[in-house]
Amino acid sequence: MSYALSRPSSTQRSSLLLIVIGLHAGLFLVILAAKTIAPQIMEMPMIVELLPAPKMEEPPQAKPLPVAKPEPVRKPQPTPKIPTPLLETTTSDVPAPAAP
């Protein structure tokens, strides 16, 4: 409290005390009333219970997942063989002529 203000009179102090006591008594009465009303409130149906229940959606149907077709196993293609040239040869017992 500021020293610049004058001290409250006795009537002001007593009225403040009565206000504090009255608030405490009112709070006490509210607590007592809540204790007696609470069981009745607990027995009352909730507004949510009075509303019709929403229709349940069907669970999603199980569908097979799309699968890519497996590629067939490729057999290695045989490499083409180069045909070997056939040499035409003759067999002879005669010796070849000497080179000049």
- In a domain? residue 77: no
Q: Can you tell me the mean pLDDT for 72-100?
A: 80
Q: Is 90 exceeded by the pLDDT of residue 85?
A: no
Asked if residue 39 belongs to a domain, the reply is yes
Q: What is the tally of structural domains in the chain?
A: 1
* Assigned domain for 38 exists: yes
pLDDT of residue 100: 67
Q: What is the SS3 assignment for 36?
A: helix
Span between the terminal Cα atoms of the chain, in Å: 146
In a domain, 32, yes or no: yes
CA distance 62 to 56: 18
Q: Look at residue 69 and tell me if it is in a domain.
A: no
Alpha-carbon gap, residue 24 to 31, rounded angstroms? 11
C-alpha distances (whole Å) from 19 to each of 23, 38, 48, 54 are: 6, 28, 41, 52
User: Would 17 be classed as within a structural domain?
Assistant: yes
Q: Is residue 54 in some structural domain? A: no
- pLDDT higher for 40 or 66? 66
Question: Which pLDDT does position 30 carry in this prediction?
Answer: 92
Range of 18-22, 51-55, 67-71 with top mean pLDDT:
18-22
- Does residue 63 belong to any structural domain of this protein? no
Cβ atoms within 10 A of the Cβ of 35, count?
A: 9
Domain hosting 24: range is 10-48
> What counts of helices (H) and strands (E) characterise the chain?
2, 0
Asked if residue 57 has pLDDT above 60, the reply is yes
pLDDT, mean of residues 17-40:
91
